[in-house]
Amino acid sequence: MIPTMNLADRKILVTGGAGAIGTNLCRALLDRGAQVIVLDDFSSAYRWNVPRHPGLAVVAGSVTDDDALKSVFRQGPSLVFHLAALFANQNSIDNPERDLSVNGMGTLKALQYSHLSGVERVIYASSGCSVYGHAPVPLVEDYNSLELDTPYQITKMVGECYCNFFKYYYDVQTVRCRFFNSFGPGEVPGAYRNVIPNFIYWAMSGRPLPVMGDGRQTRDWTFVEDIVDGLLRAAASPEAAGDAFNLASAKETHIIDMAHAVLELTGGGAGIEYTPMRKWDTKRRLLASIDKARRVLGYEPQTDFRTGLERTVAWFRENWEQIQQSTKF
């Protein structure tokens, strides 16, 4: 049983708090009475998507910017959720130096300031789709790989290494949460974004869905509220300190089945077009083991894929005008 953390009036920093996972996490923290500080440079996020709440303060700035970091850490957060990152694989291939700066140096700086400020715990957003390389499924936490395909995968592993360094050398409590294919309300589509929001946007815009390869690849899509639940548990569990946990659905879904479900739920009539695979996209299957998260965190996904997709499409319909204005490809 995971102890309940009393978050009332606690100050909590969420880097990348204007992103899809960040905004959902902020809402959950605010609902529990926390005072939330968001640090985000809004390079791939939007202010309209950030909760408006008297308990939430937003600082516009990068995790690579010392002035911005001093501004947020001066406010005395006791917990840090480090979600800020340059996302994701193709973006890192096109912009490898920026990827290294944000995901490498940005993580190092966040950990340095957390150490110097006496932060109780840092929860780091890693990527289970990255750090395991081409390990056989189901993917388990005690396996890591150096056979990585993109700069993004490399820098996510670098972030984990820095977390381990600060744990061993400075006794900073770090928890590495490895996300798998997060999706849900709050994720605005666009260039370098995830496939589900892009597919919903294209289907609602009357465009065909570009399925790469034969579409029989599988992904472990995880509803964003389940990711958030895992993050909160990682912050609360004494046994989690210094460890890594998969946050996933532990279920496989074929990409082609996801595409058909998007067309059905949106009423999209333009169908599917098959396109060549990207050079780096070589994983046929993604499936995580969540046995460790169940045992240590009490984590258990609550939202099945179909229900999560329905809720995501509903969010698109409710925010369609703002999404159209914000989306850039």
Q: What is the DSSP string of 53-87?
A: -TTEEEEE--TT-HHHHHHHHTT--SEEEE-----
The model's confidence at residue 199, banded by pLDDT at 50, 70 and 90, is very high
Number of domains in the chain: 2
CA 77 to chain centre: 21
| 199 found inside a domain | yes
Question: For the chain, how are helix, strand and coil distributed in percent, rounded to 5?
Answer: 45, 15, 40
Residue 2 scores a pLDDT above 80: no
| 289 found inside a domain | no
DSSP-derived pairing of the beta strands 253-254 and 182-183: unpaired
91 and 54 assigned to the same domain = yes
CA atoms within 13 A of residue 18's CA, in its CB half-sphere: 20
Residue 152 bears catalytic tag: yes
| 83 found inside a domain | yes
Percentage of residues in the chain having pLDDT higher than 70:
99
240 and 97 assigned to the same domain = yes
243 and 204 assigned to the same domain = no
241 and 104 assigned to the same domain = yes
Contact 284, 218 (CB under 8 A): yes
Helix (H) or strand (E) holding 308: helix 305-318
| 1 found inside a domain | no
89 and 187 assigned to the same domain = no
Residue 282 scores a pLDDT above 70: yes
| 6 found inside a domain | no
- The pLDDT of residue 144 is 84
The model's confidence at residue 208, banded by pLDDT at 50, 70 and 90, is very high
DSSP letter assigned to residue 279? T
Parent domain of 236: 11-182+224-247
Mean pLDDT for the chain overall = 96
Residue 193 to residues 54, 80, 290: CA-CA distances in angstroms? 30, 24, 25
Spot the catalytic one: 113, 124, 132, 152.
152
- The pLDDT of residue 3 is 53
**E strands along 162-243, which residues?**
174-179, 182-183, 209-212, 218-219, 222-223
Mean pLDDT (whole number) for 124-136: 96
Mean pLDDT (whole number) for 217-233: 98
The tokens of 284 are what?
Answer: 């046929």
- The pLDDT of residue 5 is 82
Helix (H) or strand (E) holding 28: helix 20-31
199 and 178 assigned to the same domain = no
Burial 145-159 (b: 16+ CB within 10 A, else e): eeebbbbbbbbbbbb
Count the Cβ atoms, other than its own, within 10 Å of residue 120.
Answer: 14
Count the Cβ atoms, other than its own, within 10 Å of residue 326.
Answer: 15
| 288 found inside a domain | no
